[in-house]
Chain A
């Protein structure tokens, strides 16, 4: 639609009345810029926080630097046998919390098999799983664990601060927890973080 001349005039008069030019100029003054900049920074901060929250659900573990929680449970492989936290002393090892109902455990299982093959000692805590399911899982996918404790009720899981299986802990020679990885261990996590860490801890006295 073509604006008629008098409509244009009206608009120009209106703009003059609103004093647009002066307003824009006064907006550029420092006193108005400061809140704007602060607001901008705040928006950036919140957006970064939101983006981060979408894929980082990691809760920092208070257990790091503390001795492993004590437990003594029958193993998955043989219910007559016992796996106790005492056995975690004297060597560098991984403790992996797993379950047959856990989908992401499937993703990391090959990585664990690979790690076991290259000599990493991995102990398992089988979390809230039926014994038969757990055994079938190990039969089907291979057993990378030295042994797995059978935590049927998940009570030991609470002591380890488990909130999402799989979780993997790095244990030093003194039986202290040194690192926690939440979620499936991928090959990058293993090569870039966990293996170097094990090497470092093995050098410790």
Chain B
């Protein structure tokens, strides 16, 4: 019996077990409000459902910040989805729902940042860089062309004489 235990409880296995135990413990510590699974959100009007889906993709979940409301499993995302659905069913427009969210969570809640002085660099920067690159490229090409046109690479008188001499000797 002892031998069997020794065989089963190799150091490797023990360390794996410890690691797994810690993982489980940390899962336990993952805090979140306790709540029962929720009812699915049901729509009667397909137009409202489309609006809902569109909005849930445009709005960011603030808990897992690189996910939108549709993707996120966070409790807050679920609350916000329900809030969006509730407002749309009440007849609010998409813009009104967006404004509601921005009033509370700021522009950060929008995946598409609005165009305003603070974000001009964000929206305009890439175009500025692109035009700058184009301009630099055109300038370079032009410079290259004029270089080919001037006669700096052509043979000078001296060189021509030298060439003739070589050809004659042949």
Q: Which residues of A contact B (CB under 8 A)?
A: 57, 59-63, 99, 101-103, 127-130, 153-155, 157-164
Contact = CB atoms under 8 A, between A and B. Distances in A.
Given A60-B108, A62-B107, 5 more contacts: A59-B105, A62-B103, A101-B32, A154-B75, A155-B79
B106 A161 contact: yes
B106 A62 contact: yes
A130 B105 CA distance: 25
Contacts of A155: 79, 83
B32 to A, nearest CB: 6
B139 to A, nearest CB: 12
B76 interface: yes
B106 A60 contact: yes
A63 B79 CA distance: 20
B142 interface: no
A155 B82 CA distance: 10
10 contacts: A57-B65, A59-B106, A62-B104, A62-B105, A130-B34, A154-B33, A158-B79, A158-B104, A163-B62, A164-B62
A155 B104 CA distance: 12
B29 interface: yes
A22 B61 CA distance: 55
B13 interface: no
Contacts of A153: 79
B34 A103 contact: no
A112 to B, nearest CB: 18
Contacts of A57: 65
A99 B105 contact: no
B102 interface: yes
A139 B76 CA distance: 27
A164 B61 CA distance: 11
B104 A160 contact: yes
Contacts of B83: 155, 158
Contacts of A128: 33, 35, 75
Contact of B63 (A129, A161, A164): A164
Given A59-B105, A158-B79, A160-B104, A103 B63 contact: no
